[in-house]
Structure 1
Amino acid sequence: MDRRQASAGAAVPERPALVPKDVAAEAAVWITRLHGGHRTPQMEQECRAWQARSAAHRLAFERCTDTWQDVASLTLADYASATAARELPGSRRAARSLPWRSSLAIALALVASVMALRPWSAGDAYDTGVGEQRVVVLQDGTRLSMNTSTRIRVDFAESQRTVKVERGEAMFEVAKDASRPFVVRAAGTEVVATGTAFMLQTSPTAKPGDQALAVTLVEGQVVVRSAAGEGRLLETPLVMVPGQRLRLSRSDEAQRPATATRVDRPLMDQVLAWRRGEARFDNVSLLEAVDEMNRYDRVPIVVSGTAGERRVSGVVKTGDNASFAEAMASLHGLVVRNHGDRLELVQP
């Protein structure tokens, strides 16, 4: 694809010198898709829209476009020498002797060959640990942002793109493909989309074996329905519009509709706060706030007595339970007891 044809607009005076790794990875995916056998005018339009998101996106695409031109001139000997340079003593010096563009071209060539031989992946799994976040660009160009303690399986086929969220929370920015719907399965439901952005969160409930599900639509449109063989969790499929959030609970009683089904319109900034490494609370109980903070830290906070009834509002950094506990103690006149494996908030 010629860079002049795919340009998102006039060049901006200042461009970032460095491109984030996830943006560079997305640019590489766009290059390989556009040079594949299924290029369409719609794909080109979506690529231009992707570039228009930021100067970093445009720069990444320009660099990958330039690099792609070098692929044809590379040989297996080039790849072998680059690999050997990384393995032999003094490899850091040797690796630097290989032009960066040639190194990237090798990488792009390998990506392209893998996509050509194996156009759709099957059974790929992605995980995040406690407090970890991860961005994955799937082979169709879909951007998957995973929150803490999340496990996802991906199974793409010619007729349908299927993703299963086994636990946790993720945001899906789905690449458009009207011929292959994008189906996310979780907690006995299916979220069906072709090109849109939505968030999905699963969490255990008080009853063992049950799961709570929240689907928040950021843009576009999705249909939420009961998954086949999972009972009638939803009486009828729900067509969601941007800004809506669906919350429901999955019961072990497969023949009974889901309990506590609710559709509301949350503050989007609050729902997306985790992507900035934050938690945003709006007059929630201290117990609720602690439950949220514990998702991001291996040293949990426990609340004793009636202290959990205190109200909390504000924006806090996730992954730092010690600081959060001290702040709550100072604000509400509580005491923090450090037991090594947990922090306890109690009344003095």
Structure 2
Amino acid sequence: MNGAEGRDGQNEGQGAEPVVTREIAAEAAVWIARLHGPDRSNYMERKCRAWQARSAAHRLAFERGTDLWMEAAGVDRVAVARAAAASMPEGRGGEGQGASPAHAGTRGWAWPRPGALALSLTATALVVGVLVGQPWRDIDSYDTGIGEQRLVILKDGTRMSLNTSTRVKVELDQTQRRVRVEGGEAFFEVAKDASRPFVVQAAGTEVTATGTAFVVRLTPPGAGAHEALDVTLVEGQVVVREAERRVAAAKIVPPIVMAAGERLRVRGDQGTSGGVTAAPAQPQRDRPRMDQVLAWKRGEAVFDNASLPEALDEMNRYSAMPIVGDPSLAALRISGLFKTGDSAGFAQAVAKLHDLRVRELPDRLELLPR
């Protein structure tokens, strides 16, 4: 162990924020509950001050816990300071008895004496639960812009590769690992942990795995098309089932067990026709080319006899300069490998292949017949 690192895990004197361990957080919660209980005494206050003096991590844990207690109880800081001052004999303060043990820290406000402020026991219990549980419940959000890609290594060791224009929210705790894909595409290489299944939610659908690799792509509705979800299993096994239906999504009943190499395509509800709700589209399974599915990780887009509109939609995901095709060209087919983000290069290649012309405008490129 580094000599500058104390036994409680904090790096004193190095400028880094002290590390509050689970044990320290629990001790701080107990001190806060005791100090606001009926058995508070001067002796107890001195013991608490001594406990905080043991390390910066102890002081930080107590400070955070007190903040949580005040928020849970709906307490105003100014009212606390006034109550403390009113309960303190004239002339006392600073580091004297009855002042805040953290007075030398950043907060600078004192504890109220018993009777100066009513404490909700429910709020105290809440603080204890939050302090002990908080270090093991991480919620983070990640996103990428147009044409941006990002690799995120989660705390459990899972590798999460985000493609262009992707938004995800990650929640990890002691019992579960959960990711919500709110848009875009992500490749998950899941760290094995049988006790904590890895669940990805998107468009009312859940993909559950313990240790595997798969791609989730969520396409928003637009141009007459409904929201679409593609789940492609690269290796291992996953189970796909319907989650709580908060958005339009196809029903998956019963759950579907996918095998490596499969892609499951889930389409959103088809809306209504003549006042009658149309039946949701059934999920479809196929076996795509994996090099095509994962081409974006190499900065490439691979097309195999794709329609021109499909190819344009794919290429436009990676560039702020969209390519617009004349409607009369919709029947044209595209095959080949292209660099993502290179709108001009793609437009020129397609124009040469099909004898078209490219018109450059300030905000877009247009493919037009000659």
Q: What secondary structure does 1:287 align onto?
A: helix
SS in 2 for 1:296: coil
What is the identity percentage for the equivalent residue pairs of Structure 1 and Structure 2? Answer: 53
1:145 alignment partner, SS class:
strand
Give the alignment partner of residue 265 of structure 1, picking from 276, 287, 291.
287
- Relative to structure 1, the CA distance from residue 250 to residue 323 in structure 2 (aligned partners, 3 Å threshold; closer, same or farther) is same
| Alpha-carbon displacement from aligned partner over 1:23-64 (angstroms, at most 9, x marks no partner) | xxxxxxxxxxxxxxxxxxxxxxxxxxxxxxxxxxxxxxxxxx
Q: Which residue number corresponds to residue 252 of structure 2? A: 234
Q: Which amino acid aligns with 1:234?
A: I
Distance 1:188 1:210, change over 3 A: farther
- Residue in 1 aligned with 2:337? 315
Amino acid at match of 2:311: A
Is the 1:196–1:219 Cα contact (8 Å) retained in structure 2? yes
Q: 1:118 deviation in Å?
A: 2.1
Whether the 8 Å CA contact 2:188–2:213 is kept in 1: the answer is yes
Give the residue type in structure 1 aligned to 2:301.
A
Residues in 1 aligned to 2:162 and 2:358: alpha-carbon distance in whole angstroms: 31
Distance 2:315 2:290 in 1: 19
Distance in 2 of aligned mates of 1:259 and 1:214: 14
Give the Å deviation of 1:298.
0.2
- 2:140 maps to 1:118: no
Which runs of 5 or more residues in structure 1 are unaligned? 1-70, 82-115
Structure 1 residue aligned with 2:347: 325
Give the C-alpha shift of residue 250 in structure 1: 1.6
Question: What's 1:95 paired with?
Answer: none
- Mapped to 1, the partners of 2:269 and 2:198 lie a distance apart of 25
Q: Does structure 2 conserve the Cα–Cα contact (< 8 Å) formed by 1:248 and 1:258?
A: no
- The change in CA–CA distance for 1:219 and 1:294 in structure 2 (over 3 A counts) is same
Runs of 4+ in structure 1 displaced over 6 angstroms?
Answer: none
Structure-1 residue corresponding to 2:150? 134
Question: Comparing 290-299 with 243-252, which one deviates more in the overlay?
Answer: 243-252
Q: For 2:297, what is the secondary structure of its paired residue?
A: helix
Q: Which runs of 5+ in 2 are unaligned?
A: 6-10, 17-132
Match of 2:179 in 1: 163
1:275 equivalent in structure 2: 297
Alpha-carbon offset, residue 260 of structure 1? 4.9
Q: 1:252 to 1:125 in 2, by over 3 A?
A: farther
Pairwise CA RMSD: 2.3
Distance 1:252 1:79 in 2: 59
Is contact 1:249–1:259 with CA below 8 Å preserved after alignment? yes
Taking a change above 3 Å as real, the CA distance of residues 189 and 149 of structure 1, as seen in their structure-2 partners, is same
2:3 counterpart residue number: 73
Is the counterpart of residue 174 in structure 1 residue 109 in structure 2?
no
Superposition pairs of residues 1-348 of structure 1, within 5 angstroms: 71-75=1-5, 76=11, 79-80=14-15, 118-122=135-139, 124-206=140-222, 210-230=226-246, 233-251=251-269, 258-348=280-370
Match of 1:337, SS state, is: strand
**2:177–2:199 CA contact under 8 A, matched in 1:** yes
- Does the 8 A contact of 1:201 with 1:213 survive in 2? yes
- Quick one: distance in 2 between partners of 1:270 and 1:206? 23
TM-score normalised by length of structure 2: 0.62
Shift of the alpha carbon at 1:73? 3.2
- The CA deviation string for residues 186-225 of structure 1, in whole angstroms up to 9 with x for no partner, is 0110001111100000002347794100000001100000
User: What secondary structure does 1:148 align onto?
Assistant: coil
C-alpha spacing 1:143/1:176, structure 2 compared with 1 (3 Å):
same
Residues 256, 186 of structure 1: alpha-carbon distance in 2 compared, 3 angstrom cutoff:
farther
Change (3 A) 1:271 1:232: closer
**Local SS of the residue matching 1:163:** strand
